[in-house]
Structure 1
């Protein structure tokens, strides 16, 4: 059924198979027309006396017309092999063949009764010839054979049954079945042959495309050498790759030609040695990468070759293909370089440093020595980036890299880990003084002033070191421990070198667990505010309270602010915590008398947030606290990172009606420019000066008097912190400070106690 076309094949496309069957059927159209015309003419002569001539003429015309109609349809199948054949075309052709059989059916049924036995057998003979001819000429399309042969053949057998010749009826039917079976067998063979031809043609087309593609690629060429390894049958493309003409290189020694001047000096690349050995051993090779010299330029070829043999099996040379892969090789080398080197500084990157440290640790294990890993972080580099831009920062990093390379010897390898972090691997650190010497040299060299785009820049460096294998058995452990030592160096004041100690790991683990607990502190209601009173220096009445954050962790107990506040700033948890503090402080202040203000400390991380002013507005709106009752306390350090943003934010806060206090004045990077550019309402004198003045330190006394005089001239109030005794309070009053804060007037207390203190002092007054 699949061969006939009445069922879709299990493999292949129905329309494609039919196209293969019907691609040549148009060639039999003329033969069919000629055969039917002759048969019809013989029938005409056979029955001319028995059948009226006009009936025979009409019948003759119907035979020729039907055969011509089939031929017209079959002409449409020219070129069908280049497209798909539709099912409608299949049915149309089968129907046309059925129409072609109708005149012969009519002849068998209507001509035979008017003739004698000889005429009957003569007509059947002509019909049998047409049946056989159809089976031979149309076997490629078996459905047409089945339609014509069965329709006409069965009709012929029926005519014998009607005339009483049962034996001839059976013989006729058997003949028809044999013709149909033969046609089906031929159709199967024909279709298999066409499928095989189509497969071969497709493969030939693929091979042709591949060969054409190979020839069109300018970097691919064929090469051939004889048994003396001299070039033979040089193709124009191969000669072009050599930078010569075919005549110039014909008969030249292959290796000598591609080695250039290195062949004479004997300094031939290893890859050429490998190629020469393979040619000498007469062994095949594939995709062999060879370094060659062409026109005094170093290039890379990829060669494949196989030995040639004559009919007797004797070796006659080599033949192969090659291509110039110089661009690909350079691209691969560039990718490999980018994978292992920092693009900005040209130093080895983290990957290469990790490999170098691994090699140093293997060396130490083999020779029972020690190695070291130094982690370096630049101090104050972020201020350069923030104030002068990343372009200046990048140029500064390049100069840092150059200075690091100057410090390092053959025993050290430096590199950049990323950002402003660098590292040095010491291959041999058996002498423990070597690590200290290298670290001190790095700090000294990197701390010298830099000149970048007419800017004189001062930065420093902190170094953390770990010794292998003492401080770590693996690369990852050693790098982590050096990083812990670096954190200690930065916490201890920067610009120094710290070595790893096991206690640092415990400190880091504590820091990690504290961070996890701090992230849940707000949700677990573990944070609370204490309030320390600030009193009027003259009346000693409470003027305001400073809100102080406390954390009572369910897991760690009471945690010192000196421990968790820096952690919150490093992890940026200070942003949500600071927002909570702002709202809670304003909410508690609403329970105090209207003249009592609340002061909230704000870190640099909070102040430099783009929406910090919106946070203040949110707190005031949510609690209903008037803006003039909120005082924002900042330290001088906020102006070091991004003074422009800090000034703009403080201007917004002052515009809201809040006041701003400058805390810890004189202990940091004091500059009168801060006081000139910002509208501070209060300057707070640090407790260290108060304690110094109480001990009659002339420097502390002079500083306090200068600050008070400056504040008075700028119409600012002054608050002295850390007053613990009545004598200190009297001393501060004598200096002219307007407000006093310290344990003498009250320690930090809870919200309820602060409220009670306010109303108690008011009743006492």
Structure 2
């Protein structure tokens, strides 16, 4: 509510910035509906009186017309007034105020008509009688509508002013003066009455609101089971114990009357003297006789630790003597525990109990600040688990979560008070070394972590092996801010992962160049497909006995205008990380099928398929599109996959391959023996070919017993499952002979042909050498 009520604001002309004037207008105009009948009756009687005075002095038709106008004006005013019912409970709009003022103006003009229009046709005596009626109406309007002085101002100003002007024009100067003065007094009184009326309404509303607030607070206090009143005397002994206070103390009121307040809430600490600091604070405030509010105190009730929030005020007698304390208290244990839990969740990881990213960054920031203060160094180590994803995907997240918890336990074992270990998220952890002045200490911590985390884990009857890669950065040498230090440690970690894992790398400025190279490679790779920078080459696969070509493997090549020829070992992993392998793989399928249509009908084309492609919902549709667009028979298309495609989502990968097999396509299992070599895959999917990795072929050629045994086992297993075997990487005559002796049915390698362009592969079938081999076969 506003402190001041300006005249223009009371009249409704302006709305000052202070106060809610929309609501004040509602209070002002809420009285009009009740005064509407009185105003209509008084003005109706006055109109009949004027009609009586004017009857026979002006034409009857004109008089009747004026009476009709008066009636219409009264009806319009009554209708406007009725629209304001309930205005005291809402804010009045400016449109409503303008409509009311317009009605008041029309009403005033209606009563100005007899003086302005008929004053020339009547004598002075009748004119004075008419003025008497108008004066009574002005006073009546001011009395009936005190809250809306603007209506009186307009009525007295327009109608009274018109009457004064008519008296002056008729030469009745005395009456003109009287009428003008009377109108002014009515206007002045109406404004003052309006101000007082509005002031009274503002005060009344304020009192009502205060009463409501007090009632609400008292009601909430009475209904709140955790709130109670307490009182102690000058000796700090409890007095006038309320039932709720006794309940909070878990005692009967008669048992605790006169006992020490501090003793009651101290519990066992009263005997030991080991008081919580908050209890000491309360005792000191009571001793100093000072007011306190919302003081959080740890108490012990019936052997249980609780938290109370206490407010207290010292009491004094009429003579000014101290008479103890009284106050209010509430049990806020639940709220305090929730607050502590929220604070814990904000800084700790719920799965491992280790500090989370937020707390790690805060600790690293504090360590960097100490570095500057004490002229020393700190370190930040980022740790990523090797092979954790395989565990998570093959055994499920439940086992993966248990493994992360075991990893966190081992990490905590390796650290001293100088280090803080936390979890960044997923399988990433970090260590902050507050004082890393000894750089060898950083290296020792990293090596201890790698060694300990690489030990086997027993989780839910599973023996699990994971390693750890570590990247470190030293502050302020490698970064003076938290963000820079974490980013550089991440670059070092990426280098460790890129080199095969299970190692520690410290940050070097050259790592930025490596990261920039990867960024440039990714940028170029995203444009390569649209710019037709990819091409396919085809490596022949021959029958081990006849050496006749049985199929080709399509191999992707990339010759970038900006980077030159890029090795598949570089861009294929990047394409899989960025999921660009999906559109690239689709292009490879289409081009390979088109190339195969130019070969004899018994020659198949083998296309490597990434796990990312199999997880794409449209993979089967892509295969169908490639076959239909090229016209290649489905049985001539062989899709090569590695065991790794089953690790992320084995069910979806298997379903995608089964859809391809249903079309008639063949499925080959590549690099068997180098990964997880799960026989479950061979049981669930009917592979047409198992490919033996080149590392076993080279080992067998050198007489390595393990390689020989693996190849013999794979061949025997494939034969029993009616699958073909292909040995990869044959480069010498000795390796070819060993492969034949071991029973592999097909051979692939440089010995029989390097990857070649499509037109060279097509020309191969027209050569005499090929035709002679086909005849021999």
Q: Choose which of 400, 404, 409 in structure 2 pairs with 1:393.
A: 400
Cα pair 1:131 1:179 within 8 Å, conserved: no
Deviation at 1:495, TM superposition (A): 4.0
Within 2, Cα distance between the matches of 1:671 and 1:129?
110
Instruction: Give a deviation string over 1:585-616, Cα, whole Å, max 9, x none.
Output: 11222232323221112233333444433322
Equivalent position of 2:469 in the other structure: 463
Cα pair 2:139 2:186 within 8 Å, conserved: no
Within 2, Cα distance between the matches of 1:738 and 1:659?
16
Is 1:202 the counterpart of 2:171? The answer is no
Cα pair 2:544 2:745 within 8 Å, conserved: yes
Equivalent position of 1:17 in the other structure: 28
Deviation at 1:657, TM superposition (A): 1.4
SS across alignment from 2:590: helix
Is 1:343 the counterpart of 2:343? The answer is no
Instruction: Give a deviation string over 1:648-685, Cα, whole Å, max 9, x none.
Output: 43333222212222323333333555444432222333
Pair 251,216 (structure 1): closer, same or farther in 2 beyond 3 Å:
farther
Within 2, Cα distance between the matches of 1:504 and 1:406?
31
Within 2, Cα distance between the matches of 1:676 and 1:236?
75
Instruction: Give a deviation string over 1:196-236, Cα, whole Å, max 9, x none.
Output: 11111122122222222222233667888899988899988
Deviation at 1:472, TM superposition (A): 3.8
Cα pair 1:374 1:423 within 8 Å, conserved: yes
Cα pair 1:154 1:173 within 8 Å, conserved: no
Equivalent position of 1:380 in the other structure: 387
Summarize the alignment of residues 614-653 of structure 1 with structure 2, pairs less than 5 Å apart: 614-653=621-660
Equivalent position of 2:65 in the other structure: none
Equivalent position of 1:117 in the other structure: none
Deviation at 1:253, TM superposition (A): 7.7
Cα pair 1:361 1:468 within 8 Å, conserved: no
Deviation at 1:157, TM superposition (A): 12
Within 1, Cα distance between the matches of 2:143 and 2:504?
101
Count of matched residue positions in the alignment of Structure 1 and Structure 2: 711
Within 1, Cα distance between the matches of 2:359 and 2:422?
8
Is 1:481 the counterpart of 2:525? The answer is no
Q: Choose which of 502, 511, 532 in structure 2 pairs with 1:525.
A: 532
SS across alignment from 1:408: coil
Deviation at 1:193, TM superposition (A): 0.2
Within 2, Cα distance between the matches of 1:145 and 1:357?
75
Pair 590,398 (structure 1): closer, same or farther in 2 beyond 3 Å:
same
Equivalent position of 2:57 in the other structure: none
Equivalent position of 1:189 in the other structure: 192
Within 2, Cα distance between the matches of 1:755 and 1:725?
25
Instruction: Give a deviation string over 1:537-568, Cα, whole Å, max 9, x none.
Output: 34433322111111112222111112222222
Is 1:174 the counterpart of 2:174? The answer is no
Summarize the alignment of residues 251-650 of structure 1 with structure 2, pairs less than 5 Å apart: 262=269, 267-271=274-278, 289-292=296-299, 298-300=305-307, 325-432=332-439, 434-452=441-459, 454-469=460-475, 470-650=477-657
SS across alignment from 1:328: helix
Deviation at 1:145, TM superposition (A): 10
Equivalent position of 2:68 in the other structure: none
Equivalent position of 1:45 in the other structure: none
Deviation at 1:491, TM superposition (A): 3.8
Equivalent position of 2:687 in the other structure: 680
Q: Which has more radius of gyration?
A: 1
TM-score, scaled to structure 1 = 0.75
SS across alignment from 1:618: helix
SS across alignment from 1:416: strand
Instruction: Give a deviation string over 1:261-313, Cα, whole Å, max 9, x none.
Output: 65675544444555666677787766554545566654545566788999999
SS across alignment from 1:342: coil
> Aligned-pair RMSD on alpha carbons?
5.2
Pair 363,157 (structure 1): closer, same or farther in 2 beyond 3 Å:
closer
Equivalent position of 1:743 in the other structure: 750
Unaligned ranges ≥5, structure 1: 41-65, 114-119
Pair 29,501 (structure 1): closer, same or farther in 2 beyond 3 Å:
closer
Pair 172,615 (structure 1): closer, same or farther in 2 beyond 3 Å:
same
After the TM superposition, which of the residue ranges 392-401 and 517-526 deviates more from structure 2?
392-401
Within 2, Cα distance between the matches of 1:98 and 1:199?
34
Q: Choose which of 745, 761, 772 in structure 2 pairs with 1:754.
A: 761
Within 2, Cα distance between the matches of 1:686 and 1:150?
109
Equivalent position of 1:43 in the other structure: none
Cα pair 2:454 2:468 within 8 Å, conserved: no
Deviation at 1:407, TM superposition (A): 3.6
Cα pair 1:597 1:629 within 8 Å, conserved: yes
Pair 226,621 (structure 1): closer, same or farther in 2 beyond 3 Å:
same
Deviation at 1:429, TM superposition (A): 4.3
Deviation at 1:341, TM superposition (A): 0.8
SS across alignment from 1:344: coil
SS across alignment from 1:383: helix
SS across alignment from 1:513: helix
Deviation at 1:194, TM superposition (A): 0.7
Cα pair 2:450 2:467 within 8 Å, conserved: yes
Is 1:657 the counterpart of 2:664? The answer is yes
Equivalent position of 1:213 in the other structure: 216
After the TM superposition, which of the residue ranges 425-434 and 505-514 deviates more from structure 2?
425-434
TM-score, scaled to structure 2 = 0.74
Q: Choose which of 714, 717, 720 in structure 1 pairs with 2:724.
A: 717
Instruction: Give a deviation string over 1:471-518, Cα, whole Å, max 9, x none.
Output: 444333333333334334434444444444444443333223222222
Summarize the alignment of residues 70-109 of structure 1 with structure 2, pairs less than 5 Å apart: 87=100
Pair 249,159 (structure 1): closer, same or farther in 2 beyond 3 Å:
farther
Deviation at 1:731, TM superposition (A): 4.8
SS across alignment from 1:524: coil
SS across alignment from 2:528: coil
Deviation at 1:645, TM superposition (A): 4.0
Pair 144,674 (structure 1): closer, same or farther in 2 beyond 3 Å:
closer
Deviation at 1:187, TM superposition (A): 0.9
Deviation at 1:340, TM superposition (A): 0.3
Instruction: Give a deviation string over 1:699-722, Cα, whole Å, max 9, x none.
Output: 545544554454444433333322
Within 2, Cα distance between the matches of 1:506 and 1:720?
39
